[in-house]
Amino acid sequence: MNVTIVDYNSGNISSVINSFKEVAKDKVNIEVTSDLNKIKSSDKVVLPGQGSFKSCVDALNNIDGLTDILNELTMINKKPLLGICVGLQMFADIGYEETETKGLGWIAGKVSKIDNQNGKFKLPHIGWNQINIIKDSKIFKDINNNSHMYFVHSYEFIPEDKNVISATIDYSSNIVCSVEKENIFGTQFHPEKSDKIGLKIINNFISL
């Protein structure tokens, strides 16, 4: 089985690569590439994302044909895809970081700045936070509710359909930190930086 981590120049993804390789050992082939043919032939896809919504969308669009391939994989061929951090946010129709930017449109919704309640809550939200699992998601198999995950973000994904939300955190308000819609999975937190529980989530995705 091939699991492809999409490398589209969206910042440092070495910890994502290392974590997936650690979990996969020799059982699964982990490929890190922007090669469209390799992405197309993969069994599962990981879409990381660091930086702003706009910079990540621009970086995806800078690789000719990449968004078309990702659309085909997820929406037509229904291959499992895991979006991490901004990788999840890009599932939205639109994001408002820097400027209004069109997302991938896989899950109806928007990405807006977290309401820090006039400075009461620090932004970016950095560090460990307890997740509240509200849906029996495949990537949360054998993960306890209220587990701690590692976050770095100032923006949140607000989906129109609340049924896609698999976990939330309490930070200023109820913030979506994980979604699942058919074959599409996303985490606002960084599983690759969330210790053994994060590795378990990665393992759950690889084992789907």
The length of the chain, given as a count of residues: 208
Catalytic residue among 97, 156, 180, 192: 192
Of the residues 97, 125, 156, 190, which is catalytic?
Answer: 190
- 153 catalytic residue (yes or no): no
Phi-psi map region of 119: left, alpha, beta (phi>0 left; psi -120 to 50 alpha): left
Q: Are 55 and 18 in contact (CB under 8 A)?
A: no
Residue in 56, 85, 156, 180 annotated catalytic? 85
Q: Which residues pair with 159 in a beta bridge?
A: 109
Sign of CA dihedral 153, 201, 18, 47: negative
How far apart CA 51 and CA 151 sit, in angstroms, is 13
Q: Is 85 a catalytic residue?
A: yes
Whether 156 is catalytic: no
Question: What's the Cα-to-Cα distance from 145 to each of 120, 167, 169, rounded to whole Å?
Answer: 26, 9, 11
Active site residues: 85, 190, 192
